[in-house]
Amino acid sequence: MSVNVNEVAVRTAAGSEQRLGDYKGQVLLIVNVASRCGFTKQYEALQALQDTYSSKGLKVMGFPCNDFGGQEPGTLDEIKAFCSSTYGVNFEIFEKVHAMGNTTEPYTTLKQVEPAGDVAWNFEKFLIGKTGNVLARFKSNVEPSSSEIIKAIERALND
């Protein structure tokens, strides 16, 4: 099943509504993030992807989530400060979301991507193509710097 996110509305860190379709023409990498997770070090590689590919049209988007082991308990300001000071993150961090159970967007839509179902853990990644179609879903243990993700991003940017 093809999943398109153009009509999905999310909340920015400032609390305003943002449609993912407003990013049409860009490639998006949507990640549910947490500051106290074993995968938290992936922030560094996510920022490297943003640094390397943003000029070509990639936008990394972080959605803090406290659904998994209470590993993102902080306020949005605390989360952003941690990401910036610890990992030099300057990609956009959105309002906290729920990625499992009673989900919030973008995960209500993204959990329809095969293999369908709730996000399993922090740092699961979804690659969205320029037209808003979800191209790939990567589990938490797939590093942002892996050849699998880099090849998928480069293909999406060249489409």
Query: What domains sit in the chain, N to C, each tagged with a CATH number?
Result: 9-158 (3.40.30.10)
pTM given for the model: 0.97
pLDDT digits (tens, 9 = 90+) for 53-81: 999 999 999 999 999 999 999 999 999 99
Q: Comparing C-alpha atoms, which of 126, 74, 17, 80 is closest to residue 118?
A: 126
135's tokens: 């191209």
pLDDT computed for residue 37 by the predictor: 96
37 as an active site residue: the answer is yes
pLDDT computed for residue 1 by the predictor: 57
pLDDT digits (tens, 9 = 90+) for 11-47: 999 999 999 999 999 999 999 999 999 999 999 999 9
Catalytic residue among 29, 37, 93, 156: 37
pLDDT computed for residue 108 by the predictor: 94
Q: Kindly report whether the peptide bond that precedes residue 73 is cis, defined as omega within 30 degrees of 0.
A: no
